[in-house]
Structure 1
Amino acid sequence: MEAAIADTKREKRIMHYSSNQKILLVSEGNFSFASCLAKAFGSAKNMVATSLDSRESVLAKYSNAAPRNLRKLKDMGCVILYEVDVHTMRQHPLLVDQLFDRIVFNFPHAGFFFMENQKSQIKLHQDLVRRFFTSACEMLTERGEVHVTHKTSYPFSKWEIVKLANEVALYLVEEAPFSRGDYPGYLNKRGSGKKCNRTFPVGLCSTYKFAKLPLLEFSDNSI
C-alpha cells in the first residue's frame, strides 16, 4: 500500500512539463493541449487552463472534441476559466493571487485582419504578445518560465519574439524545436473566423522559454 501511495506522488513528465510544476495554459482552443498534459501526468490538479472564448463559444466552435476534453480535465482536477484575456489575466479574481512555474501560450495569433506579411498584421501580433509578456511576468514564481510556441519561418520571424520578451525584462533561456507529435492528442486550431476549428501546418517552429533572469539553470530541469 505504501509503495502504491509513493508511486502516485512520483513526478511525471512530458517534454518541458512536469506534474510537480504549477502550470497556467492560456488561450486554449479545444483544450487538447491541456488534455494531453493531464493524460501524461495522470492528473490535472496542478493546472489552470484558460480560453478567451466563453464556454458556450468553445463548445460551439470545437464541438467534435472540446466537450470530451473539458469533461476529462474537470474530472482530473483542472481549473478551467473562460473569457480570460491574456492582456489582463493577472487581474482575474481567480488568478490575481497566484504564481506559476510555467505559463504557456501556444501559437499566439491576433486574428485575421491583413495578410500575414503585412506590417499592420505583424504589429497586431506583436502587441498581443507584448501585452501577454507584461501580464505573465508578474505571475511567475522566482524560477518560473514563460513558454511561447511560435513559427520560426518568414513572416512569423518578423514578430521578433525574443525582443518583445526583453522589453519586459524576460530573457531567453532556451529555444527548443517543437513537434506536435511530442504531444499525443494535441491539435492546434485556427481559433477564429469560419475555419476556426481547422488545424494548420505548424512547419518549422520552436518553443521559446523565457525567465525573469538570464540564468540557464532556470531551465525545465530546475523544478
Structure 2
Amino acid sequence: MNAIRNQKLVRMFLENAKKMVKEDGEIHISHKSCGFFLAWDLETLASNYGLSLIKEVKFRLNDYPGYSTKFGYGGDKNFDCQPSKTYKFGLKKKEEN
C-alpha cells in the first residue's frame, strides 16, 4: 500500500535524478533506518538505475534548516525521523558496470 507507492516514488526520483547528476555529483536520500524501512533496500533500488552507494551518514535534522518531517498521509502532522540515515549515491564507474 503506502510502502509500495513510496518505493515507486523513490524509483521515479532516482530515474530522473540520474539524468541530471554529473559524473562527480551526488544524489542524497534521507530515509529511516530501522524496522521495515530497511526492506526498501535503497542501495539495490539505486543500483537498478546505474547508481552506486558512495556513503551513508547519520541524518541530523539540524543540518537542514527549515526542514520538517511530514507524514505522506495525515495532513500536517510531524513524525520522529530517528533513526535515519542520508544515503549518498553517484553514477556507477565504468569498472562497476
Shorter-chain-normalised TM-score: which range?
A: 0.7 to 0.9
Distance 1:185 1:124, change over 3 A: closer
Q: Deviations over 1:75-101 (max 9, x none)?
A: xxxxxxxxxxxxxxxxxxxxxxxxxxx
Is the CA contact 1:191–1:197 (under 8 Å) kept in the aligned structure 2?
no
Taking the TM superposition and a 5 Å limit, the aligned residue runs for 1:79-98 are: none
Question: C-alpha deviations, 1:3-32, integer Å up to 9, x for none?
Answer: xxxxxxxxxxxxxxxxxxxxxxxxxxxxxx
Work out whether 1:167 is the aligned partner of 2:12. Answer: no
Q: TM-score, normalised by structure 1?
A: 0.39
1:73 corresponds to: none
- Indicate yes or no: 2:4 matched with 1:123: yes
Equivalent position SS for 1:211: strand
Q: TM-score by structure 2 length? A: 0.84
Aligned-residue CA RMSD (Å) = 1.6
Which structure is higher in RCO with an 8 Å CA cutoff and minimum separation 6? Answer: 2
Structure 1: which 5+ runs fail to align? 1-119, 215-223
Residue in 2 aligned with 1:212?
Answer: 91
Distance in 2 between residues matched to 1:179 and 1:139, nearest whole Å = 26
Q: Which residue of 2 aligns with 1:203?
A: 82
- 1:121-151 per-position Cα deviation (integer Å, ceiling 9, x unaligned): 4332222211211111011122111110000
What CA deviation, in whole Å up to 9, does each residue of 1:166-218 have, x standing for no partner? 001100000010011233332122244xx32121100110000000025xxxx
User: In the alignment, does 2:14 pair up with 1:133?
Assistant: yes
Of 173, 184, 188, which residue of structure 1 is paired with 2:65?
A: 184
Q: Work out the number of aligned pairs and report it.
A: 93
> Partners in 2 of 1:128 and 1:186 — Cα distance?
20
Amino acid at match of 2:12: R
Other structure's SS at 1:206 match:
strand
**Which runs of 5 or more residues in structure 2 are unaligned?**
none
Percent identity at matched positions?
A: 35
Compare CA radii of gyration and give the structure with the larger one: 1
3-state SS of paired residue (1:200): coil
